[in-house]
Amino acid sequence: MQARHPERVDLTDRLRQFELLLNSVTDYAIYMLDAEGYVRSWNAGGERIKGYRQEEIEGTHYSAFYLPEDVAQGIPMKNLHIAEREGRFAGEGWRLRKDGSRFRASVVIDPIWDAGELVGFAKVTRDITERYLAEQRLEKARQDLLQSQKMEAVGKLTLGLAHDFNNLLTIIINSLDVIDTRAQNEKVSEMVLTALRASERGILLSRQLLTFGRGQNLVPERVDLNRLIESGKDLYRRCAGSAVSVFFDLAPDLPMIDVDRGQFEASLLNLVSNARDAMPSGGALYLTSFHCVKANPADPEHRQREYVCVAVKDTGVGISAEQQAQVFDPFFTTKPIGRGSGLGLSQVHGFAAQSGGFAELESGLGAGTTVTLHFPLPGAFT
């Protein structure tokens, strides 16, 4: 006959067994709170996840694990009241470790009753940070894919419309040129000039639409950025208009860079045009060039690299913090309906990225806006 393991009925042994069981669980923080939320027991899992030793945390209110903003809203006690009223509380949220770092927690709180009286709560916490971040990355990848598919479909539609629009503009401009040569008085010539300016804006819009629809095929060449800006000074002044004072501050002896001349000029014209529209009552526009060493925000390794930069700064109305996160998105615009396509800054951002650099925007309501293009120096990272 097989021998049976002797049963231990002594209460002290049972408590010891339960204590050993709890302290063997390290993936979960399992502990007891009293009815007011103060910690009364602690296990090894609690120390591993939250960093507190038993003697450090016992007697401390469990709200110490919550973020300050959650404590200010009374969430720790609300959770206890839900557990008391409904028999259980379960949820997720960000919590604090002893060292102040945050982790994503899955939490279950059960009330403990003794003869109908609430004597405390059993609380179980699990660190699910890795799972949560993986889910967030997966969701972002899904959203990026949907956005890419949507932009591809919009791009195909835009490409067809832009071609037709461009053909119509060509006819209009040719007709205006003929009318201008045969104009008999100054008033007609002024009207033709106004129509030509509007057509030129249409050409710029058509170019932006075509660029968005087919992507930019860059033809970079080694250039002196200052000389490139100098050659277009008159063009940028005309684009800014008579109500805007344009100032140039170009740093001497800048290194040569590789850039597509035509796309660079188009990008600066877009920025000057945006700056002009941000100053309807006039103002000042500053076009500067300089050399810097910094990391591309899109580089996951945050490597430092040398850049030659060109910045366009205006003294206009500025852009709100909420809108700044969207300014480089295709078709997003802060201008009134009919005043902008929302493709200008998108084109600028795409051009800078395809050139190996990046674009940055700094702004504030009433404080003007600065857009800076960073073009990398040919060669290795510093």
Neighbour tally for 117: CB within 10 Å: 8
Fold (topology level) of 221-376: Heat Shock Protein 90 (3.30.565)
Average pLDDT over residues 355-380: 85
For 144-153, b where at least 16 C-beta lie within 10 A, e where not — what string?
eeeeeeeeee
Is residue 281 within 8 A of residue 327, CB to CB? The reply is no
273-283: average pLDDT: 87
Q: What is the pLDDT of residue 73?
A: 94
12, pLDDT greater than 80: no
pLDDT tens profile 18-50: 666 666 667 889 899 999 999 998 988 889 999
Which is more confidently placed, 329 or 296? Answer: 296
- Is 0.85 surpassed by the pTM of this model? no
Give residue-wise pLDDT tens across range 190-217. 787 777 777 766 766 666 566 555 555 6
Which range among 128-137, 141-150, 247-256 shows the weakest confidence by mean pLDDT?
A: 141-150
Q: What is the pLDDT of residue 75?
A: 95
What's the average model confidence in pLDDT over 346-352?
A: 77
- Give residue-wise pLDDT tens across range 118-138: 999 999 999 999 999 999 888
Q: Which residue has the higher pLDDT, 87 or 199?
A: 87
Confidence of residue 78 (pLDDT cuts 50, 70, 90): very high
Q: What are the extents of the domains in the chain?
A: 13-127, 142-214, 221-376
Q: How many CA atoms lie within 13 A of 5 on its CB side?
A: 3
pLDDT at 309: 94
CB 89 within 8 Å of CB 108: yes
Q: What is the pLDDT of residue 258?
A: 92
The whole-angstrom separation of Cα 303 and Cα 323 is: 28
Q: Given CATH 3.40.50.300, say whether it is the number of domain 13-127.
A: no
Instruction: Summarize the confidence of residues 172-183 as an average pLDDT.
Output: 78
- How far is Cα 288 from Cα 310, in angstroms, rounded to an integer? 6
According to the model, what pLDDT value does residue 265 have?
84
**Better-scored residue on pLDDT, 295 or 209:** 295
Q: What is the mean pLDDT of residues 317-336?
A: 62
CB 324 within 8 A of CB 336: no
Instruction: Give one word for 356, left, alpha or beta, with left for phi > 0 and alpha for psi -120 to 50.
Output: left
